[in-house]
A and B are shown apart, each in its own frame.
Chain A
Amino acid sequence: MSAILRGRPSAAIVLIAALGLLPHMSGCAQSPRRGATTRFTISDIEYTSAELSAQLAAAPFLQGRAPDSPEIRLMPGEFRNVSNERIGEADRWAMISMILYDPGIFELLRSKNVSIVMPEQRKRLFERFAIAQEIPGQTPPTIVFGENSIATHAINTTFLSATREATDTAGTDERKDLFLIQTEIIDLGTGAAIWSGQTRFARVARGVILN
């Protein structure tokens, strides 16, 4: 081999270039990164919110509504985490806020006579950022501050996951978490589920069995 290369310097350069490509080729195979975790990232929250917002925008129950339809007062409802992921209060509110206050959704809900019920204690925060100020002659208000009892509908969120692991004895220590996030709108008067949105994705990491 070395004799061939000594005789052909151009072949040597091409061989070096090919060797240089090897690390990139292994990167193309998308093997999980060693030392990474399968925990939620900020981008997961953003992607999830974006996907669920898009599904809510296409919800059949909204398509059948008009500005003069009976008012729906929608409150952020139950949040169930039955996944293996730790999800804090701030993450929960971030996700539901990104869905409901997405500019497109905000206007869509307004045009369908759907208001969002928020706890009274959040009113000052909204006022500070001039969100949902009531403008005379422009009804309905999109955000209603008050107790949950004034709500007619709730938007509930459920986090689920399935974890799979390969141990060292199998030649790898890979971990995979399959996540499924579901939001449902429930009619509080009847208990009937009127819409459901769902997104799923997996996270894979090597070198970590416990996050």
Chain B
Amino acid sequence: MQRVAGVALTLVVLGSLGCQSGPRGPIGDTQGRRDPGVSTRADSQDPAVNSVTLIEFADQVAQDLPARIASIPELANRDHEAVLYLGEFINRTNTPTNDFRLARQIVRNSIINSDIVRQYATVYADPEQLARLRERLAASESGRVSDDEMNGRLYSADDIFVLNSEMSEATRGGGAQSLYVFDMTLLELKTGRQVFSSQIVQKFVR
């Protein structure tokens, strides 16, 4: 009988120890902190796009785009460095625009730190700087500007590429079903021609 009681007590102690996921960290209370890649009930019930899908999309683009840059002739086959601006995004969904900024920031991080991208282009992240540059290019008779903001180098519109992004949504059944389409495109500023695109389509049933 005592042996059985001992086994039972051991079970309870081991069970409670098993709940601890390894040794406690050296700092603070992390209660409620979660892996951002794990979907929760809030993700599946909220009418906005699942936050896990949002970052999966951003991670995929962040992975694809730097690798693809080297295969884009307009960027790779140049005798001087191009300029890559992180441009606008269009939100056609019920998801707050701020959420999409988060996804774009993930892509931005990847581009800025990519050795491949840096080999072919300088990355600029200030949209106001792009707007000023566009105005100056439009006003320039030669089509080239010496931009003091860029170390006085000469730039023309065909040196400049803009990364735009767009998110669309189709819903049915009062939000019971949603189809999300995420697009990211790299455009040549001079011609407006698309030189890269990435798309992910996700369907949700709530």
What residues make up the interface of A, taking CB atoms closer than 8 Å to B? 9-10, 13-14, 16-18, 20-21, 24-25, 27-28, 30, 32-33, 36-38, 41-44, 46-47, 59-60, 82-83, 158, 160-162, 164-167, 170, 172, 174-176, 178-180, 182, 184, 186, 189-198, 200-205
B8 contacts A193, CB within 8 Å? no
Name the prevailing secondary structure of the B interface residues: helix
**Which residue of chain A has the shortest Cβ distance to B96 in the bound complex?**
A162
- Tell me, rounded to whole Å, the shortest Cβ–Cβ distance linking A69 to chain B: 17
A17 contacts B28, CB within 8 Å? no
A41 contacts B29, CB within 8 Å? yes
Cβ–Cβ < 8 Å partners of A43 in chain B = 25, 27-30, 33
- Tell me, rounded to whole Å, the shortest Cβ–Cβ distance linking B38 to chain A: 8
- Tell me, rounded to whole Å, the shortest Cβ–Cβ distance linking A165 to chain B: 5
B126 contacts A21, CB within 8 Å? no
Which of B9, B18, B105 gathers the greatest number of chain A CB atoms within 10 Å?
B105
Within 8 Å by CB of B125, from A37, A184, A198, A200, lies A184
Cβ–Cβ < 8 Å partners of B151 in chain A = 189-190
Within 8 Å by CB of B4, from A13, A21, A25, A193, lies A13
Chain B contacts with A in 99-144, Cβ cutoff 8 A: 99, 101-102, 105-106, 108-109, 112-113, 115, 118, 122-126, 129
Which of A60, A167, A204 gathers the greatest number of chain B CB atoms within 10 Å?
A204
13 contacts between A and B (CB under 8 A): A13-B8, A24-B19, A38-B32, A41-B30, A42-B29, A44-B33, A160-B105, A162-B51, A162-B102, A178-B54, A180-B105, A192-B123, A192-B124
B102 contacts A180, CB within 8 Å? yes
Assuming A32-B32, A172-B45, A193-B124, what are 6 further A-B pairs, CB within 8 angstroms? A10-B1, A27-B19, A42-B29, A190-B122, A192-B123, A203-B34
A14 contacts B46, CB within 8 Å? no
Expressed in whole angstroms, the Cα–Cα distance for A201 and B32 within the complex equals: 10
- Tell me, rounded to whole Å, the shortest Cβ–Cβ distance linking A8 to chain B: 10
Expressed in whole angstroms, the Cα–Cα distance for A197 and B105 within the complex equals: 10
Expressed in whole angstroms, the Cα–Cα distance for A44 and B99 within the complex equals: 20
- Tell me, rounded to whole Å, the shortest Cβ–Cβ distance linking A51 to chain B: 12
Chain B contacts with A in 29-44, Cβ cutoff 8 A: 29-36, 38, 40-44
Cβ–Cβ < 8 Å partners of A161 in chain B = 98, 102
- Tell me, rounded to whole Å, the shortest Cβ–Cβ distance linking A116 to chain B: 21
Expressed in whole angstroms, the Cα–Cα distance for A92 and B5 within the complex equals: 54
Chain B contacts with A in 48-85, Cβ cutoff 8 A: 48, 50-51, 54-55
**Which residue of chain A has the shortest Cβ distance to B5 in the bound complex?**
A13
**Which residue of chain B has the shortest Cβ distance to A45 in the bound complex?**
B28
Within 8 Å by CB of B45, from A166, A178, A201, lies A166
